[in-house]
Structure 1
Amino acid sequence: MPTLRRIPHLLPGALLCLVLAGLARLSIELPGMQQLGLGSLTLAILFGLLVGNLGGARLITLKPGVDLSRQHLLRLGVVLYGLRLTFQDIAALGPAALVIDVLMVGSTLLVAWWIGVRWLRLPRESALLIGAGSAICGAAAVMASSPVLRARAEHTAVAVATVVLFGTLAMLLHPLLFNHLPQLFASSKAFGIFSGSTIHEVAQVVAAGRAMDPAAADAALISKMLRVLLLAPALLLLGQLGNNGEHGATGRRLHIPGFAVAFLGVTALRSLDLIPHAWLAPLQQLDEVLLGMAMAALGLATRLADLRREGPRPLLLGAGLFVFLLLGGWLINSGVQHLFGQQ
C-alpha cells in the first residue's frame, strides 16, 4: 500500500523522462544524425539538460519520478543490455580480442585513476566515471558506474559529456587512419579489433565501421560488444578503486553490485538460447527506453552552473585518455595480435 500511494508522485517525473527519451529516439532517425555517431542516449541527456535548466525550480514536483528513472530504471536497463551479447559471437573473434579488451579496459581505468586523482586532483568518483566511459561503452558505462561510486549528478553529467566529445573525435579519426595508414595493421580484421577496443560508444563504433570495409566493421562491433561484456567485472574494479580512498577503506568487504551479476546472467541466458526469439526485439526496445529515461533523468537533475564549477580538469582527463586509447591501444593491439600470430 505505501508503494501504491507513491505512484501519483512518481508518475509525472517518469512520464517526462519517457517523453524526452522518445523524442531522442525519433531524433536519431533524422537525416544526417546517424553519421554524427550520436545515439539516442546522448540526445536524451541533452534534451534533459535543456528542459531541466529552462524549467529550474518549477520542476521540483517531478523529482520523485526523475530519481526513480535515474536510479532504479537505470539498473534494470543495464541488466537488459546483456540481451545484446552472446558468448558465441565473442569466441568467434578469437582469444586475441579477449586479451586485448581486458588489457584495454583494465589499463584505461587505472590510467584514469592515476591521472585524474593523483595529477589533476579531480574527485575520485569523477575521474573513475570518465575512465569507465572511456574504457567500456561510453555513456551507458558512466551511468552503470554512477551508483557503484555513489557519484553526484553533476559529476555523472560531466563524465557523459566528456566521453561523448572524445568518442566523437575517435569515431572521425579511425576511418582516416584506416584509409591513409593501412600499414598500421596487417588486415582489416586486425584494424577492426583495434577500433572496437578503443572507440568509446557503441554507436560511434558502428558509424566508424561503416566508413571502413565490412571485415573491419564486423570485427570492430564484436570487439566492442566484448568490452560491453566486461562491464560487470569492471564495476568490481571500480568499487575497489572508489573505496580505496582517504578513509583507509582498503580493508572493506568487496561489494558486488547485484545488477552487474544479473547483467552476466542475462547474457548467459541469451548465449544458451533460453530466451524466445520473439521476445528479443521487444525486450531490446524496452531496454532502449529504460536507458533513455535514465539519461533524460540525469540531464533533468543536472544544473549547468554545477558543470562550470568543475573547470577544465575533466576535459584534460578525457583528452589524456583519448591519447592513451589511441597510442597505448595501438601498442597493445599490435603486441597481442603479434603474439597470437594475427599480425
Structure 2
Amino acid sequence: MLLTHKTSIPTLYRMSSIVASLPDFPRVRRYAPGLLLSALLAALAALLSQWQPLSQLGLSALTLAIALGMLAGNSIFPALPAQTVAGVDLARSTLLRAGIVLYGLRISLQDIAAVGWPGLLIGMLMLALTFVIAVHVGTRWLGLDRQTAILIGAGSAICGAAAVMATQPLVRGEEHKVSIAVATVVVFGTLAMLLYPLAYPYLGLSQHAFGLYAGSTIHEVAQVVAVGQSIGPEAANAAVVEKMLRVMLLAPFLLGLSLQSAAANRATASFRTCCAQVHIPWFALLFIAVSAVHSLKLLPTALVAVLVQLDTLLLATAMAAMGLRTRIASLRQAGLQPLKLGLVLFVFLAVGGYCINRAIAALV
C-alpha cells in the first residue's frame, strides 16, 4: 500500500491534470492536489496505526502521518507539479487549527472531576516545570534556538505531537523544527512504554496511583493507553483521565504563551503597542468552547464519535503536510542537541514526576 516512486508520480500527475481541467473552480485547481496528497497519506497512516505491531508500539496516526509525509517529501514530492504546494500549505495551517478545535471533543469537565484536585495539581505542576526546564536547558545549556526548545517542551509537557502542532502557529516554527520536536516525542515516548511497565512492581504504587503517574508523565495519548492497559483496567482508566486533563491544559498554555511573547517586548514598547502584539489564538478559545459543549452532553454520542474520527483525519492530514515540507537535510543540521533535550525532559518526567506524584499523594 505504500506509495512508490514509479506508481505514485504518474498517478498524481494525472490527478493534477484532471483538477486543472476544471476552469470554473479556480480554488479547486489550486488546493485539491496538495490536499488530496496529504489526505491520502493521512488515511494510510490511520490504517497503519490499526496494524497490531505498530499499535502495540503506541505509534499513533499522527506520528505515522508525519513519518509518511517525510518519506514522500524527500522522494516523490519535489518531482510533483508546483500546484501541489498550495494545498499542502493549506493543510498544515487551516486544517491544523480546525483539528485542534475538534480535539476538544475528546475531553470534558467531568474528566477533571474524575481525578480530583490532586490530579489537576499534578498535571499543572508537570506542565509548568517541564516547559520551563525545556526552554532554560534548551536555550542556555544546549544552544538550541527558542522555537525548537518551545516546541520540544510543549510536546513533552502536554500531549505529544498534537501539542507541538498547536504551538507551532504561535512561535512560527519551521517545518523541520516541528519534525524534530515530534521525533523526540516518538523516541522517548516509546522508551517510556518499554520501561514503565517493567518499573511498576518496584515503584510501590497502587494501580490508580500508577495510572496518575503514567498519565502525567508520558508523552502521547496512545502511549499512555498502552502503558495503562499493560498494568490493568484501574491503571488504564486513571492514566487516560489524567492524560486528558493534561490535554485540557493545552488551551490555557497557548494563551499564556501568547501573552508572554507580547510581554517580552514591554521594555521597548508602549503599553498600547504591547497589547496590540498579543496574539490570541482563536483556535485555543474554540477548543475550550468545544470542550464545554461536550461537557454539557449537547451533542449526540454518535455524532461525537464521527467528529472525533474526522478530527484524527484532519490532524493526521496536517501532520502529513508538515512532513511533506520537511527536508532531511534540515534535520541533519539540527544535530544531537534536540535529542539531548528530549532525554533531559524524559528523565525529569520519569524521576521528577514520580517524586511529585508521591508528594501530592502524601498530602491527600
TM-score, structure 1 length as denominator?
0.94
Q: Is the 8 A contact 2:211 2:235 kept in 1?
A: yes
Comparing 232-241 and 276-285, the one that deviates more: 232-241
**2:41 equivalent in structure 1:** 20
**2:280 equivalent in structure 1:** 256
Q: Is the 8 A contact 2:214 2:239 kept in 1?
A: yes
The equivalent position to 1:42 in structure 2, one of 52, 60, 63, is 63
Distance 2:164 2:72 in 1: 21
**3-state secondary structure, aligned to 2:193:** helix
Change beyond 3 A, Cα 1:245–1:156: farther
Change beyond 3 A, Cα 1:249–1:18: farther
**1:30 equivalent in structure 2:** 51
Distance 1:140 1:56 in 2: 24
**2:104 equivalent in structure 1:** 82
Q: Is the 8 A contact 1:128 1:238 kept in 2?
A: no
The equivalent position to 2:329 in structure 1, one of 295, 298, 305, is 305
Comparing 3-12 and 196-205, the one that deviates more: 3-12
**1:159 equivalent in structure 2:** 181
Distance 1:305 1:97 in 2: 42
The 5-angstrom pairing of residues 108-257 of structure 1 reads 108-178=130-200, 180-183=201-204, 185=205, 187-240=206-259, 242=261, 252-253=274-275, 254-257=278-281
Distance 1:249 1:95 in 2: 40
Change beyond 3 A, Cα 1:146–1:249: farther
Structure 2 unmatched ranges of 5 or more: 1-23
**Which amino acid in the other structure matches residue 137 of structure 2?**
I
User: RMSD value over aligned CA atoms?
Assistant: 1.8
Give 1:331 deviation, angstroms: 1.4
Give 1:31 deviation, angstroms: 2.9
Structure 1 unmatched ranges of 5 or more: none
Change beyond 3 A, Cα 1:335–1:51: same
Distance 1:173 1:240 in 2: 37
Distance 1:47 1:147 in 2: 22
**Which amino acid in the other structure matches residue 77 of structure 1?**
G
The 5-angstrom pairing of residues 269-280 of structure 1 reads 269-280=293-304
Q: Is the 8 A contact 2:228 2:237 kept in 1?
A: yes
**Which amino acid in the other structure matches residue 311 of structure 2?**
D
**3-state secondary structure, aligned to 1:121:** coil
Q: Is the 8 A contact 2:34 2:87 kept in 1?
A: yes
Give 1:276 deviation, angstroms: 2.0
Give 1:237 deviation, angstroms: 3.0
**1:53 equivalent in structure 2:** 74
**Which amino acid in the other structure matches residue 107 of structure 2?**
L
Give 1:26 deviation, angstroms: 0.8
Distance 1:274 1:330 in 2: 38
Distance 1:177 1:10 in 2: 49
**Which amino acid in the other structure matches residue 240 of structure 2?**
L
Tell me if 1:293 matches 2:312. Answer: no
Distance 1:249 1:320 in 2: 34
Q: Is the 8 A contact 2:176 2:326 kept in 1?
A: yes
**3-state secondary structure, aligned to 1:151:** coil
**Which amino acid in the other structure matches residue 78 of structure 1?**
I
Give 1:182 deviation, angstroms: 3.9
Percent of aligned pairs with the same residue? 51
Distance 1:21 1:197 in 2: 28
Give 1:191 deviation, angstroms: 1.1
Give 1:309 deviation, angstroms: 0.5
Change beyond 3 A, Cα 1:160–1:249: farther
TM-score, structure 2 length as denominator?
0.88
Larger radius of gyration: 2
**3-state secondary structure, aligned to 2:335:** coil
**1:94 equivalent in structure 2:** 116
| Per-residue CA distance 1:38-85 (angstroms, 9 max, x = gap) | 011111001000001002532333110000000000000000000011
The equivalent position to 1:5 in structure 2, one of 26, 36, 42, is 26
Give 1:270 deviation, angstroms: 0.3
Distance 1:146 1:226 in 2: 21
**Which amino acid in the other structure matches residue 36 of structure 1?**
L
